[in-house]
Amino acid sequence: MATDWLGSVVSINCGLTLGVYQGEVSSVDHASQTISLRQPYHNGVKCPVSEVTFSAMDIKELKFLDIQNTVNKPSSGQGAAKQPSIISAGRHGQSNRTTHPPVTSSSSHSGAAPITILRRVSSNSRGVIPATAKKNNVRNGGTGGPMRSKDDECFGDGTDEDLDTDFDFEGNLALFDKAAVFSRIDGTSRHSSRAQHHSTQAEQKPMSYRHDENILEGKPVIYRQITVPQQGGREYCTDSGLVVPSVPYELHKRLLATAEHWGLSLERRLEMIGVCSSQMALTLLGGPNRLTPKNVHQRPTVVLLCGPHLQGAQGISCGRHLANHEVEVILFLPNFVKMQESVTSEVSLYSRTSGKQVSSVKDLPASPVDLLINCLDCHENQLLREQSWYQSAADWANQNRAPVLSIDPPVSEQHQTVEAKWTLSLGLPLPLAETESRVYLCDIGIPKLVFQEVGIRYLSPFGCKFVIPLHRA
């Protein structure tokens, strides 16, 4: 009968929205398919109302926490005790067995979930302890009797404390002597580990590392990874400390000839130099901060001063790539001198871009430009400096006061006609004169075995870049 479960303490799970309720069963209605709890708790907090009623449709799961002990009394007219099946299951220790109370579903509510979904999951196999015995045991301190039930601690009767009162965290924390507890823990830990770790106490403390340091032990770094048969008289080093020696011009010329023999033709080398030098120039001009679609009214202007030789062809290749990147390029190249075939080929390609070409210094801008690229000098012919067109172009460059990038300057003990702020060397640096210019090195794609063929033991210092800065060692 439904009255057999009155007074039992149950836990009703109504899902994530309504939560979990606990309380004493006060009534069970077959007709309306409802169950009521008195003195309910909602998610562990006492409810402000004295009774809550639940519909069977809202109940996801029901567990019995404590069954009232009046069901142990014998029924009238029978000599033996008549008990619900759930009580006998609990007393026999069958904790996983699901039983149903003798409550039936009403025929008028066939669409709703019946109350018979109620079930009890026993937490132990010691049987049911009467609620009054548990409460008395708790009130008396629990010495010598059964252990205090966790459920009784949470949901036992007589909890009349004012839950609205704020908890005194500072006062409770003052009762905890943290220093004494940690001192006792440290003493116990040292005593227990002294015998086990006596042999390791003399070992050195492991070294600590910063987040940017390599903690993996490997082979020592060899900073001199490039050795040359003939020293150029000057050494440089990269940002990571790798040593890059300079080479004499004759060895550098033989290296380029060997590379050309194996397929690195002059045209391919000019294209590589043009790409790398233009990339460096774009960075010097401001990179993405300057060259954006929203900044078309401030396009940078670059002037190229080129001679009718190989170095001039390298500068023209650089100018072509700059023009392709929407840079205002002005090429100065005299037209009354004989030009090399490579220069003629590069001029033909350059003429298909938006870049301008002038042959007179008078046609160059009078106001300062953003960058000036100097390719006037030649490795083979130093007498070009004495010609009038060369001197006119050098004078204009010195008066314009624009920053200068010099590509592949020749080896010379004389004072530079056009002082460069940056100098770009190719493959391996030449022994350049002592100046304030910052030296950079460009990877022009020479294979490792080509270096080996001319007697140079070579391991690339470029890493993930094609242009790297060099510092005087």
pLDDT in tens, 175-224: 777 777 777 777 765 555 555 555 555 455 556 666 666 556 566 778 89
Q: Which residues contact 106 (CB under 8 A, 6 or more apart)?
A: 30, 31, 33
Q: Which parts of 164-320 are beta strand (E)?
A: 235-237, 243-245, 301-306
Radius of gyration over every alpha carbon of the chain, rounded to an integer in angstroms: 46
Residues 400-434: pLDDT tens digits? 989 999 999 988 766 778 999 999 999 999 988 88
Contacting residues for 233 by C-beta, under 8 A, at least 6 apart: 246, 431
* Residue 11 · residue 20 · CB < 8 Å: yes
Evaluate if residue 238 carries a pLDDT over 80.
Answer: yes
Q: Is the separation of the CB atoms in 224 and 454 below 8 Å?
A: no
pLDDT at 222: 80
pLDDT in tens, 143-159: 444 555 555 666 555 55
Tokens representing 206?
């492991």
Residues of the chain with CATH 3.40.50.10260: 235-472
Q: Identify the CATH number of the domain defined by range 2-155.
A: 2.30.30.100
Position 3 scores a pLDDT of 72
Degrees to nearest 5, angle at CA 124 with 54 and 99: 50
Q: What is the pLDDT of residue 2?
A: 67
Adjacency order of strands within the sheet including 422-426: 243-245, 235-237, 467-472, 438-442, 422-426, 404-407, 371-375, 301-306, 328-332, 356-358
Please state, as a whole number, how many other Cβ atoms lie within 10 Å of the Cβ of residue 182: 10
Mean pLDDT of 225-242: 89
In this predicted structure, what is the pLDDT of residue 140? 46
Residue 381 backbone phi and psi in degrees, to 5: -125, 105
d(CA 451, CA 459): 9
Give the three-class secondary structure for 458: coil
Q: Cα–Cα distance between 426 and 468 in angstroms, integer?
A: 11
Question: What whole-number distance in Å separates Cα of residue 444 and Cα of residue 467?
Answer: 10
pLDDT at position 81 is: 38
CA distance 232 to 160: 95
pLDDT digits (tens, 9 = 90+) for 438-468: 999 999 999 999 999 999 999 999 999 999 9
pLDDT at 232: 73
Whether the per-residue pLDDT at 268 is higher than 50: the answer is: yes
Evaluate whether 460 touches 452 at the Cβ level (below 8 Å): no
Rounded-to-integer distance, Cα 15 and Cα 454, Å? 82
Residue 96 is predicted with a pLDDT of 36
- Residues contacting residue 130 through CB under 8 Å, at least 6 positions apart: 69
| Residues whose CB falls within 8 Å of the CB of residue 101, separated by 6 or more in sequence, listed in order | 2, 4, 5, 84, 86, 116, 118
Phi, psi of 34 (to 5 degrees): -130, 160
Beta partners for residue 38, in sequence order: 24, 51
Average the pLDDT over 301-312 and give the result: 95
DSSP three-state, residue 456: coil
Residues with Cβ within 8 Å of residue 427, at least 6 apart in sequence: 252, 255, 256, 441, 442, 443, 444, 446
Rounded to an integer, what distance in angstroms lies between the CA atom of residue 169 and that of residue 80? 56
Q: In terms of pLDDT, which residue wins out, 306 or 189? A: 306
In this predicted structure, what is the pLDDT of residue 148?
Answer: 54
Portions of the chain given CATH number 2.30.30.100? 2-155
Predicted pLDDT of residue 241: 92
pLDDT digits over 369-393, tens only?
A: 999 999 999 988 888 888 999 999 9
Specify the pLDDT at position 243.
94
Asked whether the predicted pLDDT for residue 111 surpasses 80, the reply is no
d(CA 279, CA 287): 9
- What is the identity of the amino acid at 300? P
Residue 165 pLDDT > 80:
no
CB 370 within 8 A of CB 301: yes
For the chain, what is the mean pLDDT? 78
Place of tokens 């003493």: 187
Task: Report the percentage of the chain scoring pLDDT > 90.
Answer: 43
User: What would the DSSP string read from start to end of 198-264?
Assistant: TTTTTSPPPPP--TTS--S--PPP-S---B-SS--S-EEE-TT--EEE---HHHHHHHHHHHHHTT-
Does residue 234 register a pLDDT over 70? yes
Q: Looking at per-residue confidence, does 151 or 17 come out higher?
A: 17
Burial 44-70 (b: 16+ CB within 10 A, else e): eebbeeeebebbbeebeebbbbbbbbe
Residue 70 confidence class, pLDDT cut points 50, 70, 90: very low
Higher pLDDT, 327 or 204: 327
pTM of the model: 0.55
Answer yes or no: are the C-beta atoms of 310 and 407 closer than 8 Å. Answer: no
Say how far residue 270 (Cα) sits from the centre of its chain: 39
Q: Which of 86-100, 130-144, 417-431 has the highest mean pLDDT?
A: 417-431
CATH number of 235-472: 3.40.50.10260
Distance CA 271, CA 248 (A): 24
By the 8 A CB rule, do 469 and 439 touch?
A: yes
Given the structure tokens 């001198």, which residue do they identify? 337
Please tell me the distance from the alpha carbon of residue 453 to that of residue 465, in angstroms, as a whole number.
Answer: 25
